[in-house]
Amino acid sequence: MQPGAMVHTNGWSGYAGLTAAGYQHQAPTVVGGGSDPAHEVMPPVHLVASLLKRWLIGTHQCGVQHQHRDDYLDEFTFRFNRRRSKARGLLFHRLAQQAVAVGPAPYHAIVKPPAYNGCSMSGH
């Protein structure tokens, strides 16, 4: 996400620092305070989160490693953004174009160090 991007979140306090980090934080939609279920208040967010969880469980059989989390999310984003493409046959072509457009990245440059202490995928 690019600095300056507009971000719309729920009322979780962990998002409080978004403005200080350079993002435009739209007034949060507090989900737990009302009678409407969260999936009705912010359906696109819950759709993407449920698709991501289903993809991780189905494709990776819960074998997600923390040091590769960014790569899993990049792949999911790539697939999600092209899910309705009318030219599905071009997916591999575009992927190959992107692969040759950037220089090689050694393994140690694309993974988090082992001391990475990220949170689990469950719950968010």
pLDDT digits (tens, 9 = 90+) for 47-89: 888 888 888 888 888 777 888 888 888 888 888 887 887 777 7
Mean of all residue pLDDT scores within the chain: 78
pLDDT exceeds cutoff 50 at 21: yes
pLDDT of residue 104: 82
Whole-angstrom distance, CA of residue 66 vs CA of residue 94: 27
Structure confidence at residue 118 (pLDDT): 46
Domain boundaries, the chain: 1-36, 42-116
Query: Is this prediction's pTM over 0.85?
Result: no
6 forms bridges with which residues in the sheet?
24
Type of residue numbered 43: P
Q: How far apart are CA 22 and CA 41, in angstroms?
A: 26
d(CA 120, CA 124): 9
